[in-house]
Every structure is written in C-alpha cells, then in structure tokens.
Amino acid sequence: TQLLEQSPQFLSIQEGENLTVYCNSSSVFSSLQWYRQEPGEGPVLLVTVVTGGEVKKLKRLTFQFGDARKDSSLHITAAQPGDTGLYLCAGTTSGTYKYIFGTGTRLKVLA
C-alpha cells in the first residue's frame, strides 16, 4: 500500500515566521503535487513537481522534490494569516491516473 506521511500534523505559528512541511513515502512517484484546502472548499492545486531534485518557487512558497522522488517539502517564508489552511501532498505513479494523498498538515498563522 502506498502511503504519503506528512509532518507535522498541526502547526501554529506567529505571522512572519518561517516553516517547513514534509511529505515522505517509501514509494517512488512520477509526479507530486501540493494543495491547500480551506474549510468548506475543495483542495486547490499549488504546484506540481516531476523531476527528482526539482525546486519550484511560488512567491513565498518553495517546493522541493527529493532526488529519489520519494519525498517532498514545502517551505513558507514569512508566513501570513492568509496562509492558514490544510496543506496536502499527493503523488501519482507512472502509468496510473490514481492520486495518493498525504495525511495533511493543518497550518494556523496567528496575526
């Protein structure tokens, strides 16, 4: 069974602090995605990474795909209250359309 473990599960920080969320698996993924979900809504895609070692930046968010394509991280610089939400990673393996979602990290940024 493919599993994506995220850590930490919960994170409460002050505005302006930096944070990193991790997504780990024993399986190799052909691509990995990060989503943010707000209460009462569906997840919204933030980024897709497909190459081992790839780093993508989206304003204050930096995403990295591990060299072996088994893990990923999301780093937020100078967090803002608007970053509050549930962050989910999701991976897919070659030849399938099935997405395996991680366990989720609930982030709260306090003003």
Partner 1 sequence: GAGVSQSPSNKVTEKGKDVELRCDPISGHTALYWYRQSLGQGLEFLIYFQGNSAPDKSGLPSDRFSAERTGGSVSTLTIQRTQQEDSAVYLCASSLGGSRDTQYFGPGTRLTVL
Judged by CB under 8 A, the chain residues 25 through 84 that form the site for partner 1 are 30-31, 40-45, 48, 50
Judged by CB under 8 A, the chain residues 9 through 28 that form the site for partner 1 are none
Question: Residue 96 interacts with partner 1 (CB under 8 A)?
Answer: yes
How wide is the angle at C-alpha 59 spanned by C-alphas 58 and 61, nearest 5°?
Answer: 60
CA distances to 8, 52, 66 from 36, in Å: 15, 22, 20
Which helix (H) or strand (E) is 12 found in, with range? Answer: strand 10-14
In whole angstroms, the minimum distance from the beta carbon of 16 to partner 1 comes to 26
| Residues lying near partner 1 in the complex (CB under 8 A) | 4, 6, 30-31, 40-45, 48, 50, 86, 88, 90, 92, 96-104, 106
